[in-house]
Amino acid sequence: MNSKLLKIALLIFSGILFQSNANAQMYISPNSYVFANNEVVYIKQELELNAASSNFYLRKNGQLLQGTTSNSTNKGLGSLSVFQEGSTNNFQFNYWCSPVGGSSSSVGNSPFGIIQLRDIVDLTNSNSPTILAMNNYNGTASPFAIAPFWINKLTVSSDYSSWIQVGSNSSLNAGEGFTMKGSSGTNLTTVYGVQNNPGSKQRYDFRGKPNDGTISIPVAFEQFTLTGNPYPSAIDLSAFLIEQTHCTGIAYFWEQDKTVDSHYIADYKGGYGTFSPVSRGGSGIYVPAAFYSYDGSGNEGSASGTGGGYERRFSPVGQGFMIDGLENGTVEMKNSYRVFVKEDVLNHSQFEKNINSNKTKATSAYMSDIPSVSGFDYKTVSTAPTPQIRFNTLLDNQRVRQVVLAFVPGATDGVDRAMDAISSSDDSPADVYFVIDDEEYLINAVNFDIDKKIPIGFKNTNQANFKITVKEMLNFTSANYVYLHDKATDLYHDIKNDFYDLTLSAGVNNAQFEITFKNNTTLGVDETARQSFVVYQNNSTKNLTISNPLLLDLASCNLYDVAGKLIFNKKDLGSNSSYTFSTSGLSDGIYIVKIATKDKIEVGQKIIIRR
């Protein structure tokens, strides 16, 4: 394992760089450097960057792994340098966790400060940033300047007011995540074909003593902690979440509407995406954030949009995320979680980039061999999605809340740690969720049974409209039907091929509705009529065709997108045997056709439009 890592490391040396013994320790002498380009360097124990002129450059996905099994023994006045790009402008936050601390001759990890985020000049050189005054809220790309007002950390709290302002102080300990807004404007400097800032994507040079070894992170019962990947390499986030039992085993990632250019909290639109590892044998499940507006105290207000989908199994360098404490104590970030994984959708590692539409077309059923400190065999990890059903609910025609029902052998109907993901939006004015032990969950892992009934809840502070449907079924073919069962009326609504539209009075409704895979009602005349319709999308001719063999009198035909938004409405269609509607102006995607007869028989059917 260790020798393999060392063999594939590509290094360029200058001067007397390192001395090696049986423990593969590395010493970089004054006026010398190590340069790792698109490769991994493995050191079994400590690294000494002896002098201020001792440098270690990681470039173009180059990463450093270390095998220390206790606390870090790295030391030295020199610096490791690694690039990472943000994804926001000067009005939105990224969550970070630094891979380096301050350079120091003392042994161990050192605190980090934003003065170590440098402006890239060329392949090896960078300049210190300008740190703006605390009353200047707008960082800039050129000249490069950081607004320290937005540098905050959160340790063991669920209260917005508990954020601690760090500012320009070098007081972020290893493993402590921090918030930071990006910069305005552009920076035309280009290295490796990547521009420093083409707009809303500031690239930073993290410079300092590399973090290493076991890092303790405090957690508390039902309290959030902002942490992240503290190393100059990727980490196996699933391994960390599953092994560290003092947290719930779920990670939360901040996403924000990037069209909102305002520093006022009341204008923010954002929320937390949710990652469940499920098991080390797969790539996990990620649920996009549901965006809310916020009041001046940081409380969630009205629904306002939806975040993106990302691959989270492996956290890249610099990635920050929230964890939720399961009990008072600490969790430990360890070198054993470190892996050499390049940031890419197909590698299940993203800082924040939209998923490629071809992502699900994996070239292999299992992951490739991944160099790691632990020696875990990643060739046993399936690239197929965890069997699941994704439900989309449009809330008051404003934003979509997605929840996932996963099917995992051995999962229980109760709470399963590192599988079931509790909602981070417990004070939202309108929401939908699975009900487990009277709590609100966005991801619910169960052992599939065709007769199983899954409680689903709705809540709203004012009267609200909900449109719920099955967005997609991934790697799951055991159920032909999916229904929303209203126990009050004993009606079953097909939400696999249609969406169900309901308006609820203000309140919390955790007992009336459930997801089922069987319709326990008798097939009647209306159902026979429903089944007579044939709905067909011809993508060659770009037409939607509806066959009406019973010549039923149609009151309307509506077309909706999968979120429940109306695309077109046709009324008083008569009793023709067939109807054709053009779809030439519609973008690719899944749509829902809803047909209603004058006798109030309703039919829903999903179609797929492709150009």
User: What SS3 string covers 372-421?
Assistant: ECCCCCHHHCECCCCCEEEEEEEECCCEEEEEEEEECCCCCCCCCCCCCE
Query: In 17-174, at which residue ranges do the beta strands (DSSP E only) sit?
Result: 26-28, 32-37, 40-43, 47-49, 54-59, 63-66, 79-85, 93-96, 100-101, 117-120, 126-127, 130-131, 139-140, 145-146, 152-153, 164-165
Mind giving me the DSSP string for 187-222? EEEEETTEEEESSS--EEEEEEEEP-B-EEEEE-BT
Cβ-based neighbours of 522, under 8 Å, separated by 6 or more:
none
* Residue for token pair 């089944």: 531
Q: Which of 374, 246, 228 is nearest to 312 (CA)?
A: 228
- Phi/psi of residue 330, nearest 5 degrees: -135, 155
For the beta carbon of residue 80, count every other beta carbon within 10 angstroms.
27
Alpha carbon 172 to chain centroid, angstroms: 24
pLDDT of residue 4: 37
Return the amino acid letter for 449: D
d(CA 564, CA 134): 45
Q: How far is CA 477 from CA 145, 389, 481, 562, 589, in A?
A: 53, 10, 10, 20, 21
**Cα R_g (the chain), whole angstroms:** 27
Q: Which amino acid is at 372?
A: S
Residues 6+ apart with CB under 8 A from 532: 548, 549, 550, 552
The list of the chain residues with pLDDT below 70 reads 1-24, 158-161, 292-305, 353-363, 426, 521-525
Q: 379-411 pLDDT, tens per residue?
A: 999 999 999 999 999 988 888 899 999 999 999
DSSP H helices in 207-309 = 237-243
Chain centroid to CA 286: how far?
Answer: 6
For residue 1, how many other CB atoms are within 10 A of its CB? 12
Contact 108, 73 (CB under 8 A): yes
**Confidence (pLDDT) at 141:** 97
> Looking up tokens 């939202």, which residue turns up?
428
Q: How far apart are the first and last CA of the chain?
A: 48
DSSP state of 290: E
CA distance 292 to 591: 25
- pLDDT at residue 419 in the model: 98
Altogether, the residues listed in the chain come to a count of 611
Distance (Å, rounded) from C-alpha 337 to C-alpha 373? 7
Give me the residue label for tokens 């954002």.
270
What pLDDT score does 306 carry? 80
- One-letter identity of residue 486: D
Q: What is the DSSP code (8-state) at residue 362? A: -
* Strands of 109-265, DSSP E: 117-120, 126-127, 130-131, 139-140, 145-146, 152-153, 164-165, 178-181, 183-184, 187-191, 194-197, 203-210, 215-219, 224-228, 234-236, 247-256
Is residue 78 within 8 A of residue 172, CB to CB? The reply is no
Q: Kindly state the tokens that stand for 311.
A: 């691959």
Q: Which two tokens stand for residue 126?
A: 């960078």
Q: Is the dihedral of CA 444, 448, 450, 453 positive or negative?
A: negative
Structural tokens at position 135: 């009353």
